[in-house]
A and B are shown apart, each in its own frame.
Chain A
Amino acid sequence: MRCNSWTGKPPASTIIERLSDEDEIVRMSIVQAIQKHGNGRSTINALVDALQKEKNNAVVDKMVETIASFEASAIEPTLKALMKKTGERPLEAPAAALAHHRR
């Protein structure tokens, strides 16, 4: 059983909105917060959406790592699509995440 989950009424929508903050340090912190707390379907979906728009490599890596840490079968096509984006950046992180997810 997971021991780290949102309790009370966490502002999931507020958090999701912040994934598009103009500052990468804010976005990175939000992803870290999701990694530590959130495993709801809407949060994961928002993360997958944000991943495809994210430009900062470090934030992309953290997003992929976070997505891969959840049990969400829907992410596999997204990660595959990300891996097909050639020429933009090395694809080790999505590949590793995919391998991790398949385990």
Chain B
Amino acid sequence: MQVQVGKLPGSGAFRWSGRIAAVAALLTALVGCEIKETDFTYYEVGKQQLINDSSSQAAKDFQKSIDKEPKTRSIARAYLAVAYDRAAKKMRNIPSEAQRYIEMRDKSIGEVRQDPSAILGMVQILKRQDFLSESAEDALVVLGEDCVPDLIHSYHKPLVRRKVQRVLARIGPKAAAGLKEAILSDSYNAQEKTELLRVLGHVTDAQSIPFLKTLQEDETAPAGLRTEASAALYKLGEKGERGFILSSLDSNDLLARRAAAYALQFLDRKTPRVDDH
């Protein structure tokens, strides 16, 4: 292509510099266009749409990505479920539309369930510090026990701990087995284990009493873990744990004191009676 720069004003030197500049600009533009074309993926476009809160458009892009882009298929599946969840939230004032998106979300979660990499991808979305992590939380709750191992594995990352605790608590008793496994493993430090044990105390039922008793009675176990086990047992009706909890308030072990102080919130609490109100 020829570039017409003959009408540029000024000296000959200026005209030459103008020609060079024009050619450089043209080349830059052409190269730039080419790069954009090769980098284009439905997955990236969908993600950008989602970040811009155009969730239904994002869902279309993620669906195309799943169909045409094998490399990012799994993570696109995770984002598709998140996009539908977000769309449902935005439509909460129109119940029929919200319900339609919830159904599409649940269907896409069904596909996530069959794809371990997509489950991991969904857990990774929790790391985000925007509204997408809220939708990921809700989608993970629907996913239920299938995501528990990946959720607990991500517990090493401090940024997601609160979110993981919330999701596990909402999953409920189905999270108990995974939590017990983590508490007994060597993969977590004492603080992480006491925190996971507290979550177990929230989700569990009487079936966990033998597990908790074994832990509480183990004199080789860290004091924080034993006190947290006591607190969980007390919640399950084992009132005999009261003395151990109170004595732990004076422990030199920080985690034991934290567990005991936490337990004070429900220690000796009278069950409300109907005529109290």
Chain A interface residues (CB < 8 Å from chain B): 1-8, 10-11, 14-15, 18, 21, 23, 25-26, 29-30, 32-33, 36-37
Contact = CB atoms under 8 A, between A and B. Distances in A.
Nearest to A25: B258
Contacts, number: 56
A21 B268 contact: no
Nearest to A28: B261
Contacts of A25: 258, 261
Contacts of A36: 265-266, 269
Contacts of A8: 268
A6 to B, nearest CB: 6
B244 interface: no
A88 B258 CA distance: 28
B274 to A, nearest CB: 10
A80 to B, nearest CB: 30
The B interface is mostly helix, strand or loop, or mixed, namely: loop
Nearest to B266: A36
Nearest to A6: B268
Contacts of B71: none
A77 B262 CA distance: 30
A33 B268 contact: no
Nearest to A33: B264
Given A11-B246, A14-B246, A23 B258 contact: yes
Which of the listed residues A4, A6, A7, A29 has the most CB atoms from chain B within 10 Å of its own CB? A29
B234 to A, nearest CB: 13
